């Protein structure tokens, strides 16, 4: 974001305070992790930028606290997971209500944090790291690492927590497997998948985990009771992130190779529709009610808002030039 634009934004926020529309009243609808620029941007429902927070270098993923007050963002330190370099070793803590940075969590020797999930029962965070390959449990209140796990594979990318909070599932992207980690004992079971597992989503009942395989153009279906793959759904090219509607009937995912978003019917096990975005989307998140999905085209600095029931684009809004938006995090839904 240019200096002139930042001055304009500051003036707008000051005017809001004087007229009754301040940061506390703006109630942003979305937070966008702007990976390339190293910011988190806050946006209104109609796509207006109403605030920003400087994070670490190349932040990748984020998750809200149970009450929605705090946003935790992984400061990876490199733009692409294939890049060399030791990267950063922090998680940025953001006060959503104030739209300000509240602090950082130092990860010590664990560098290049990427995937992040919240254990809603304890409030603790689960974070994958690429240097070394591992999974961390973090106390966000004390702001310290409580425990680390060896994921028995390479490049743990995203992490999904099991329904009872007993198991965590880390996608070892460069080992073509998901590591099922028992958080109490540290036991690890590797579940082979197709090539390049990345994002995952748990079915509402917790008995199935759906993991996209970027290099195989499919979704691996994992039985979480048996801890093994039991099926697959063929998709378009290079899915990377995935979400599921609350009724458990529809999977929605980005398609980097097809430059769009795909929809799969769980019952039939088939892809049933796609939407073209005109650029390569790197993210896919969904509102809790399942009505809208969000996907960002990083190299165009655009965010797409998609109607899930209607399978069409509702809105496109721009982030600042060079922002490089990645995940969109809906706010105010807790």
The CATH number of the domain where 299 resides is what?
2.120.10.30
**pTM of the predicted model over 0.85:** yes
* pLDDT at residue 26, rounded to an integer: 59
pLDDT tens by residue, 135-186? 999 999 999 999 999 999 999 999 999 998 999 999 999 999 999 999 999 9
For residue 24, name the pLDDT band (cuts at 50, 70, 90).
very low
Inside any domain, residue 243: yes
Q: What is the mean pLDDT of residues 100-120?
A: 97
- Pairwise pLDDT comparison (1 vs 253), residue with the higher score: 253
Inside any domain, residue 29: no
* pLDDT at residue 195, rounded to an integer: 98
Inside any domain, residue 88: no
Residues 6+ positions from 315 with CB-CB distance below 8 Å: 46, 47, 304, 305
Domain that holds residue 284: 235-334
Contact, 113 vs 75, CB < 8 A? Answer: yes
Inside any domain, residue 222: no
pLDDT tens by residue, 261-306? 999 999 999 999 999 999 999 999 999 999 999 999 999 999 999 9
Inside any domain, residue 298: yes
Contact, 119 vs 147, CB < 8 A? Answer: no
CA 102 – CA 65 distance, rounded (Å): 13
pLDDT tens by residue, 249-272? 999 999 999 999 999 999 999 999
Using omega within 30 degrees of 0 as the cis cutoff, is the peptide bond preceding 58 cis? no
- Complete DSSP assignment for 171-198: EEGGGTEEEEEETTT--EEEEE-SSSEE
Inside any domain, residue 251: yes
Inside any domain, residue 192: no
Inside any domain, residue 330: yes
Structurally, the chain folds into a number of domains equal to 1
Q: What is the mean pLDDT of residues 52-70?
A: 97
């Amino acid at each position: 974001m240019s200096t002139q634009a930042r001055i304009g934004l500051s003036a707008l926020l000051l005017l809001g305070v004087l007229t009754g529309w301040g940061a506390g009243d703006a109630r942003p609808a979305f937070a966008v992790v702007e990976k390339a620029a190293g910011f988190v941007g806050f946006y209104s429902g109609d796509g207006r930028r109403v605030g920003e927070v400087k994070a670490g270098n190349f932040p990748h993923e984020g998750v809200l606290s149970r009450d929605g007050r705090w946003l935790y963002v992984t400061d990876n330190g490199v733009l692409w997971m294939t890049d060399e370099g030791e990267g950063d070793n922090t998680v940025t803590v953001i006060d959503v209500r104030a739209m300000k940075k509240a602090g950082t969590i130092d990860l010590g020797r664990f560098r290049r944090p990427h995937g992040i999930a919240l254990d809603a029962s304890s409030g603790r965070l689960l974070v994958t790291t690429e240097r070394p390959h591992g999974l961390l449990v973090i106390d966000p209140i004390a702001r310290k690492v409580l425990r680390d796990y060896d994921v028995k594979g390479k490049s743990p990318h995203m992490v999904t927590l099991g329904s009872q909070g007993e198991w965590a599932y880390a996608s070892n992207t460069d080992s073509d497997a998901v590591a099922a980690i028992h958080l109490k004992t540290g036991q690890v079971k590797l579940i082979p998948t197709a090539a390049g597992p990345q994002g995952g989503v748990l079915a509402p009942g917790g008995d199935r985990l759906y993991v996209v395989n970027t290099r195989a153009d499919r979704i691996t279906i994992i039985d979480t009771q048996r801890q093994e793959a039991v099926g697959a759904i063929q998709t378009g090219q290079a899915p990377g992130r995935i979400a599921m509607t609350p009724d458990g009937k529809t999977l929605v995912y980005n398609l980097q190779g097809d430059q769009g978003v795909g929809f799969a019917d769980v019952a039939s096990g088939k892809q049933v529709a796609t939407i073209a975005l005109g650029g390569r989307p790197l993210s896919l998140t969904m509102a809790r009610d399942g009505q809208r999905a969000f996907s960002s085209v990083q190299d165009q600095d655009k965010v797409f808002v998609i109607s899930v029931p209607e399978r069409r684009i509702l809105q496109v809004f721009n982030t600042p030039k060079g922002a490089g938006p990645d995940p969109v995090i809906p706010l105010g839904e807790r």
